[in-house]
Amino acid sequence: MVNNQLKKVLDDKKLSFSDLKKLLETKEIKINNSQLSLYSRGKRNPKNKKMWIDIAEVLQVDLQEIITDINYYLSLMNEISENSTEKNGKTENEKTNDSLFQELLSLVDKNSPSELEKVYRYCSLVSNFENLSKAIDKAGVMILVSSGENEIKKPHPAIAEKVKVNAALIKLDEFFEEKRASKPKNSSEKDWSKFTK
């Protein structure tokens, strides 16, 4: 279950769960007060994660004011963007990630579970890095965070996460650099080291 600031946002706006229920009904979303209470206490998550976006919209706040857990926020944004893209067509990032996966796969011993795991982990980290970048681009480097009655500007929490992901990519890239060095260079291959610099 996810920790969130829904109750605090409602309190700051002097709204009740009933008020929120009525606001959501204007978007033709049927929900009851007990469900909203369970969401706010982190006892239950909406089946459709888009509910969090609807709640933020009707409350006229940024989603990050309600969902403060960066990992959940990113997974939520990722799931929503996956659902909104057409299943047949791939985005440029998906095409790039497929190419990266194929390139890394060509470097490792496919019979070695540990080497295969490194490929999957590297691709997952690259995807996380891209999602963190999108979150920062969307909200800006500095975000407003409610603190009691005041709002203070803080660096976007995704920045610190991006630094951690980048460090993990650099460490993991050492393994792939050794593999690249022992393999004959093909001039048509892309250079993926940009993710680690």
Q: Does residue 158 register a pLDDT over 50?
A: yes
Helix (H) or strand (E) holding 195: none
Higher pLDDT: 29 or 74? It is 29
Band of pLDDT at residue 193, cut at 50, 70 and 90:
low
What pLDDT sits at residue 119? 86
> Can you list the alpha helix ranges (DSSP code H) found in the chain?
6-12, 17-25, 33-40, 50-59, 63-66, 70-84, 92-107, 113-139, 157-181
The residue segments making up the domain with residue 195 are 85-197
Q: Does residue 186 register a pLDDT over 70?
A: no
Read off the tokens for 37: 């209470």
Closest residue by Cα to residue 46 from 79, 16, 15, 89: 79
Give the residue from 68, 97, 118 where a domain finishes. Answer: 68
Please tell me whether residues 4 and 45 are part of one structural domain: yes
Count: domains in the chain: 2
Q: Which residue matches tokens 């890095």?
A: 129
Cα–Cα dist 182/12, whole Å = 60
Amino acid at 11: D
Please tell me whether residues 121 and 193 are part of one structural domain: yes
Cα–Cα dist 29/41, whole Å = 20
Please tell me whether residues 50 and 93 are part of one structural domain: no
The reply to whether 53 falls in a domain is yes
Give the residue from 68, 98, 113 where a domain finishes. Answer: 68
The pLDDT tens digits for 75-126 are: 777 776 666 544 434 455 555 567 888 889 899 988 888 888 888 888 888 8
Read off the tokens for 139: 């909200």
Please tell me whether residues 92 and 138 are part of one structural domain: yes
Higher pLDDT: 167 or 124? It is 167
Band of pLDDT at residue 1, cut at 50, 70 and 90:
low
* Average pLDDT estimate for 155-174: 90
The reply to whether 77 falls in a domain is no
Q: What CA–CA distances, in Å, run from 190 to 20, 39, 104, 121, 146?
A: 50, 45, 11, 19, 44
Please tell me whether residues 39 and 95 are part of one structural domain: no
Cα–Cα dist 15/36, whole Å = 13
Please tell me whether residues 52 and 116 are part of one structural domain: no
What mean pLDDT is reported for the chain?
81
The reply to whether 73 falls in a domain is no
Is there a contact between 123 and 97 (Cβ–Cβ < 8 Å)? yes
The reply to whether 181 falls in a domain is yes
Closest residue by Cα to residue 145 from 79, 67, 72, 83: 67
Give the residue from 17, 41, 68 where a domain finishes. Answer: 68
